[in-house]
Amino acid sequence: VTTLSASRPNAADPRPTMKDVAAAAGVSVKTVSRALGGESGVQQATRDRVQAAARKLGFRRNDIAASLRRLGQSMATIGLLIEDVGNPFYASVTRGVEEVAREHDHVVIAASSDEDPELERETLSAFLSRRVDGLIVVPAGGDHSYLAPDLARGTPLVFADRPARGVEADAVVVANVRGAADAVRHLIGHGHRRIGYVGDASGLYTARERYRGYTNALRSAKIKLDQSIVRQGAHDVDSAAAATAELLAAEEKPTAIFAGNNRATIGVLRAMRAHRGRIAVVGFDDFELADVVEPAVTVVAGDARALGRAAAERLFARLAGDHDPVRTIVLPTTLTARGSGEIKP
C-alpha cells in the first residue's frame, strides 16, 4: 500500500469506474459503456442520465482496460525512436510523425537513442511491451534482425532517415547521393576544381552516401579526388570547425567546401569567421538562419518534416492492411542558392 500512496500522492479518493457511474445513474455497467462509448441503442433519456452521472463523478474511461478486451488490443499509440529529440532536424521529423499520427487518432511515444544500439534495443523493447501499434525507427548502427519476430507478429516497422540491416522493412530516406552530387556539381559549375569535404564518419549511412555523392560528382567532372582536403569523422560542430581550420591553414587550400550535414556546415562557418577567407560553401541540410549569416548559405536539403510524415504514412498504410512488398521511399532534395555557394574561386 506504500507503493500506492507513493505513486498517487494526492489520491484522496480513487478514480471512479464505470461501476460507480452505473450505480449513480441506476443502470448496468454495460449501459454506461454504451452511453459513453457513443454506441447506438440507448434511449436518449438514459444516455443523458449516464452522462450527467459521469460528469458529476469526474469519470474518465480507462483506455488501458478498454483496450485489453477490444479486438486488436490497440492503444492507438505508435513508438518513435530517433537519435536525439533535441536536434532540430529530428525535432522536425518528430513533428511530421506527430501530425500524421494525430490525423489517425494515435499518440506518439518518442525517445532518443543517442546512437547507442544497446539503448535503442532496450527502448524498443519497452515500446513493444506496451503494445504500440507500430514503430518508426531512426536506426543506430548495427544489425536489426532482433526486430524481425515482432514485425512478423504484426507490429509494422518503418525505418526513417536511414535503412537498417537484418530486417525487411519499409524505409524513408532522402536522396543523399544525388543531393550531395548536386551540391558539388553546383560548386563545379561556379568554376571550382579544388573542393574540400567536411562531414561525419563514414560509419554512418548518411555520411557514407553523401561522401559517395561528393566523389561521384568529382569523378564525373574528371577532378581527381584529393584526400588531403577530405575530413570525415567530424561528428559535432567543434570537430568540424577544427577540421575546417586545418583545411584553411594548408598550403594548397581548397577554394570551396562541401559540408556533409548541418553540424558540419555550422562548424565550417564558424571556422571561416576566424579565417577571413573568401571560400565557397554548400552544406547538406537546411537551417533556420541560413539566410541571415554573411554570406547567406547555399544548401541542398531534404524536408525533415516531410520525412516524418512519409514514414508515418507508410506505417499507417501497413496498419490499414497494405501488404505490398517492402519498399524504400527516397525523398528529393532541393538546392537553395543563397550566396555562399556562388562565390567564385
Partner DNA sequence: TTGTAAGCGTTATCAA
Partner DNA sequence: TTGATAACGCTTACAA
In the complex, which residues of this chain contact DNA (CB under 7 A)?
14, 17-19, 26-31, 33-34, 36-37, 40-43, 45-47, 59, 61-62, 65-66, 68-71, 73
Q: Is 252 in the site for its own copies (CB under 8 A)?
A: no
What is the rounded distance in angstroms from the CA atom of residue 345 to the CA atom of residue 331? 32
Indicate which of its own copies, DNA, none lies near residue 6 (CB less than 5 to 8 Å, by partner kind): its own copies
How many residues bind its own copies, per CB under 8 A?
Answer: 82
Cα separation values, 214 from 151, 186, 272, 291, 303, Å: 36, 11, 21, 24, 20
Indicate which of its own copies, DNA, none lies near residue 278 (CB less than 5 to 8 Å, by partner kind): none
What is the rounded distance in angstroms from the CA atom of residue 41 to the CA atom of residue 13? 33
- Which residues in the 296-335 window bind its own copies by CB under 8 A? 305, 318-323
What is the rounded distance in angstroms from the CA atom of residue 158 to the CA atom of residue 165? 13
Is the Cβ of residue 54 or residue 138 nearer to DNA in the bound state?
54
Smallest separation, CB 180 to its own copies (Å)? 22
Question: Cis peptide leading into 156, omega within 30 of 0?
Answer: no
**Strand, helix or coil for residue 284:** strand
- Which residues in the 156-185 window bind its own copies by CB under 8 A? 156
CB–CB of 63/37 below 8 Å?
no
Q: How is residue 58 written as a grid cell? A: 469526474
Strand partners, 172: 160, 329
Is the Cβ of residue 76 or residue 249 nearer to DNA in the bound state?
76
- Which residues in the 69-128 window bind its own copies by CB under 8 A? 71-75, 77, 84-88, 90-92, 94-95, 98, 102, 107-112, 123, 125-128
Q: How is residue 281 written as a grid cell? A: 560553401
Indicate which of its own copies, DNA, none lies near residue 305 (CB less than 5 to 8 Å, by partner kind): its own copies
